[in-house]
Copies of this chain bind each other. A is one copy, B any other.
Amino acid sequence: MSTAQISNLVVPGKGQSVWLVTLSAAAMAFLAVFALALSVTASKLAHTWSASLAQTATVRIAAPPQEIEAQTELVLEVLRTTPGISAARLMPVEDQAALLEAWLGPDLPLDALPLPRLVELTETATGPDRQGLRLRLAAEAPGAVYDDHTRWRRPLVQAASRLQGVALVSLGLIGAVTAAIIALASSAALSSNGQVIRVLRLVGARDRFIARAFVRRISTRAFFGALAGTALAMLVMLAVPNVGQTVPVFEGIGFDGVNWLWPLAVPPLAMALAWASSMATAFRVLRGVT
């Protein structure tokens, strides 16, 4: 029998405390995958919200009928040459009418009214220099008013980023609790095998050998436990109908596309965690045994 083989044998494979490592790894992996899903979702949500809200703005042009065409041209020209604005589009009268219909009813003779023109902007990620834009518009087209929707946008962006914060905090919490429980379970597994350690020391086994035997057993257990927990969580998430499909506001609670790869990081992480904590515990316990 080789040293490697015996090293796989000296730690009992069954026993409550070893199961505890497996099962706590599984349970915590399960929770971690859900927290990850929440976090990914929140991040997407925050991104979607802030992107769709932050990057649209309007310019409203109100002017006497004879000037309005000229001012609209000017405004579009200004917007085209403003850095930070990727597109500017004059809203067709029909769209404008549709927007107003809710308030004014379909029968109002909008064509007859001196309606202001609306220009929709799409801003780049950084956006334009808003103060500068306002000044230029005021100078070139006094009837133009720039509205970046800040008033509507701020609370939603804040809410989204808070949600992401909450998800990250949960993930951190679950990670910490996982670490604590796996560390404790490994340490219980080690302490409850005091006799194994004493016998091995008695027959002349080195600390390295003993520690490695335990650490290998425990981190393998943690890995397979976490693997099972992760698989279960992913199955559950696949089985639960995707919320995002039905509710556009909360598009995609859960993973999609490449995000499905995220949870695959959980088992190796659990294993690394178990490795580190059992290694530390092993040498601590061993120092107590001569």
Interface residues of A (CB under 8 A from B): 15-17, 19-20, 23-24, 27-28, 30-31, 34, 60, 62, 96, 99-100, 102-108, 113-116, 118, 145, 147, 155-156, 158-159, 162-163, 166, 170, 173-174, 177, 180-181, 184-185, 187-188, 191-192, 243, 246-250, 253
Contact = CB atoms under 8 A, between A and B. Distances in A.
A156 B247 CA distance: 8
B16 A184 contact: yes
A162 B31 contact: no
A188 B23 CA distance: 12
Contact of A17 (B17, B27, B108, B249): B17
5 contacts: A27-B181, A28-B177, A30-B173, A31-B174, A62-B107
A108 B115 CA distance: 8
Contacts of A60: 102-103, 105
B23 A184 contact: yes
Best-buried of A31, A103, A181 by chain B (most CB within 10 Å): A103
Given A105-B145, A107-B62, A174-B31, A181 B24 contact: yes
B249 A159 contact: yes
A133 to B, nearest CB: 18
A170 B166 CA distance: 14
Given A243-B162, A247-B159, A253-B162, A31 B177 contact: yes
Nearest to A60: B105
Contact of A113 (B62, B113, B145): B113
A117 to B, nearest CB: 10
A249 B155 contact: yes
State how many copies of this chain the complex holds.
Answer: 2
Contacts of A246: 158
B102 A188 contact: no
Contacts of A17: 17, 188, 192
Contacts of A27: 177, 180-181
Nearest to A91: B103
Best-buried of A102, A106, A107 by chain B (most CB within 10 Å): A102
A250 B192 contact: no
Given A23-B180, A174-B31, A253-B166, A113 B108 contact: yes
A177 B30 contact: yes
Given A104-B116, A162-B253, A173 B31 contact: yes
Contacts of A20: 20, 184-185, 188
Nearest to A251: B159
Contacts of A116: 103-105, 108
A67 to B, nearest CB: 13
Contact of A163 (B30, B147, B250): B250
B16 A187 contact: yes
